[in-house]
Structure 1
Amino acid sequence: MQSLALKHACQLSDALAVLYAQPDPATLFDRLAAALLDLFGAETICFDHFDAQGTMRFLGAWPQHLFSTEMLHDASPIMTQHPLFEELFVRQNALPLRTSDFAALPRFVRTDLYQLLYRPYALTHHLVLAARVPGWGTVSCAIFRSRQDFTEGERTLLAFVRPHLEGLLRCSGLAGASGAPAGFAPADPPVPDYFGLTRREADILFHLAQGRTDKEIGRLCSISPRTVQNHLQNIYAKLGVDNRTAASRRTMAFF
């Protein structure tokens, strides 16, 4: 029988209290994302819906400028390259799984899927749960980190989240009569244009908020450190700040 460490049990209790406090289905995925990102100390989270025919529908990613519709459309034909795809969506394993349990990192990062979808944000460590919702299909919850793999304790923690995730989805009324997620159109997640940023500037600001250096940002964005610095000057001007620390603080609520 799985058991939670006291620290994880307390964290889970706090996260669930927030989730159950507001029943509005229109904000369910936003609240799930906020709770799980905080619970796992992760950088990014993504939700997808799979119907009975295996058709994938993007529900959203947080931060919201990640994984554009174009990127996901291009990645869809090669999604089977993900180390967890067969185990979760063919064999229908109900347990949370880590990418590192099924593929060595050097092998995974060489795949076309990683290069297209995950490399721009250095999202190398994945913890994924596929929750089955009767009458709806499968909702995948993928949690990403760039620097540190997920532990066995964190995998157990997500297993305890699973029944609550399934229950919240069932009770939310999001599943329409056709089995499709009612009220969730596969719209392109917006570029963070609240400051007039371009998509490139939003990407650079995301990496800046993660504490990365100009050299690291340049490597991840396939541009030179000097070009990163030029983008940062434009970002600072749009944010009304004059240094990277102030820029990170200015956008803390969004990243």
Structure 2
Amino acid sequence: MTTLREQDWRAGFKLLHEVASAADGADALAEAAVQSLPALVASEITTLSVCDLKSGHRAVIGTPKDAIGAEDRECFDRYFREHPLVRYHADLRGPLACRISDLVPFSRFRHTGLYSDYYRRIGIDHAVALPIHVDDRTLISFVLNRRGRDFGERERERLDLVGPLLSRCYLQARALDETRSLLARQGLDAPLLDARRVTRREAEVLQWLAAGKTDREIAALLSCSHRTVQKHLQRIYEKLGVETRTAAVMRALGRGVQ
């Protein structure tokens, strides 16, 4: 049974609004989230943790910015494979926020090398991780850390409240970054396409169009039907104010009629 109250829901919606309003790409969203999350759940060090499950390396975006230095990150990586939260969310695919103490009693955890060499080093006793994406290669989580008092059940539920939408916002922001990178490599005018509200899938269609692919080739590349590609093209023409494939490509390249 949930312990959440009306004020928890209000705090959750406030955080999501702040993050969505501030975000322009994945890094900007991460920065906004790590700044806002401590208002939802008290945390002394808050990070977006991106774990490469193949290499055993973790990258972080966090606040305070100098809380986890290069040597600290190297120390964490030495214990990467045995970290309880990494194993729970990556190996068991646990979908919800989880505390270290949910998996290992603190009385036992404090005697581990991970605690002695890493957590004690950065002045932290307890951590809770909110996973927002996991696949065979990558685990991405927001992680809140503090000393002294462990995270409570209501605090964990607060994180689960915002988790699904926070995940969706982050993945959409990352997809936007990938699309902009794709457009830049192809030479397409990303700001113009942003202004015309061209979607990620429409931008992908444009990218292959600029590469000289036919409708059927684009359909095969995007794993969709020929008819779907034609619908995307029609919307692209309308948004860019053109009538032909060539004009759409020229406009997207920044060389079309104004």
TM-score w.r.t. length of structure 1: 0.62
- Distance in 2 (CA, whole Å) between partners of 1:22 and 1:136 is 28
- Distance in 2 (CA, whole Å) between partners of 1:76 and 1:135 is 18
Structure 1 residue 15 corresponds to structure 2 residue 35: no
Partner SS state of residue 84, structure 1 = helix
Tell me the matched-pair count: 178
Q: Give the AA of the match of 1:122.
A: G
- Distance in 2 (CA, whole Å) between partners of 1:12 and 1:110 is 35
Partner of 1:149: 150
Segments of 5+ residues of structure 2 without an aligned counterpart are 182-258
| Higher Cα radius of gyration | 2
What is the percentage of aligned positions where both structures have the same residue? Answer: 23
Q: How does 1:91-110 map to 2 (within 5 A)?
A: 91-110=92-111
Partner SS state of residue 94, structure 2 = coil
Q: How does 1:156-195 map to 2 (within 5 A)?
A: 156-172=157-173, 173-174=176-177
Name the CA shift for 1:134/1:109 in 2 (closer, same or farther; >3 Å). closer
Segments of 5+ residues of structure 1 without an aligned counterpart are 179-255
- Contact 1:48/1:139 (CA < 8 Å) preserved in 2? yes
Partner of 1:71: 72
Q: Give the AA of the match of 1:12.
A: G
Deviation string 1:9-44 (CA, Å, 9 cap, x unpaired) is: 111121112112223224222110111012112111
After superposing the two structures, state which structure 1 stretch, 67-76 or 8-17, moved more.
67-76
- Distance in 1 (CA, whole Å) between partners of 2:83 and 2:58 is 17
- Distance in 1 (CA, whole Å) between partners of 2:55 and 2:180 is 18
- Distance in 2 (CA, whole Å) between partners of 1:134 and 1:102 is 21
- Distance in 2 (CA, whole Å) between partners of 1:136 and 1:168 is 20
- Contact 2:56/2:77 (CA < 8 Å) preserved in 1? no
- Contact 1:136/1:175 (CA < 8 Å) preserved in 2? no
Q: How does 1:31-50 map to 2 (within 5 A)?
A: 31-50=32-51
Structure 1 residue 114 corresponds to structure 2 residue 118: no
CA RMSD of aligned residues (A): 2.7
